[in-house]
Chains A and B, each alone.
Chain A
């Protein structure tokens, strides 16, 4: 059972456009929502993360929007660049387990066309 649902599976965006990836969860115990970026042949790397006490977090061209009541969060990549072409994973974790376990979405393969 997938605890974090992610869409779309793949995304093609023109250079300069906005890339949007969406995730949803059911477990209200989740209290930390990171996004990981993975390039071919490499492991995932933390891109940006948000806690549920804020509705938005921005770091450069990357923004997480968080809707606690809908149990949804999304990643927006503004002014998308070919170098952003990668696979993006949303994830969630909960403090109450005491372990830094992440539950990942199924991933979105982003291609930015020059």
Chain B
């Protein structure tokens, strides 16, 4: 089954404690992206990757890091989480060609206390 898998689905943690949200896709997609979803703001792009070892900033990259060492994985790293990073996070993947449907994971709800 074609899918994008995120882990964990839920996490409550404290300010400053490094965390990683993993994302894996099994569709051999070149393009992967991270979004955060906040009430009244919709989905905003954090980082994206066009292929292995190629990453770039989206609209709200501050406080986040990513890496793309393998095609199927695109982890999101919060080195020193802060309460304003409390949000619902989605990973998505698609073929590299523009205007392709993006396939989303089921989300990770992060609470930073």
Question: Judging by beta carbons under 8 Å apart, are B106 and A41 in contact?
Answer: yes
User: In the complex, which residue of chain A has the Cβ closest to the Cβ of B30?
Assistant: A100
* CB of A6 to closest CB in B, whole Å: 7
Question: Judging by beta carbons under 8 Å apart, are A99 and B99 in contact?
Answer: no
A to B contact number (C-beta, < 8 Å)? 69
Q: Which residues of B contact A55 (CB under 8 A)?
A: none
CA A110 to CA B40, docked complex, whole Å: 14
Interface size class of B (residues with CB under 8 A): 20 to 34
Interface residues of A (CB under 8 A from B): 2, 6, 9, 31-32, 34, 41-46, 49, 51, 89, 93-95, 97-102, 104-107
Interface residues of B (CB under 8 A from A): 4, 31, 33, 35, 40-45, 48, 50, 56, 58, 90, 92, 94-102, 104-107
26 contacts between A and B (CB under 8 A): A9-B40, A31-B99, A43-B90, A43-B105, A43-B107, A44-B43, A44-B90, A44-B104, A45-B104, A51-B99, A89-B42, A93-B99, A95-B98, A98-B50, A99-B56, A99-B98, A100-B94, A100-B98, A100-B99, A101-B33, A101-B48, A101-B58, A102-B102, A104-B42, A105-B42, A107-B42
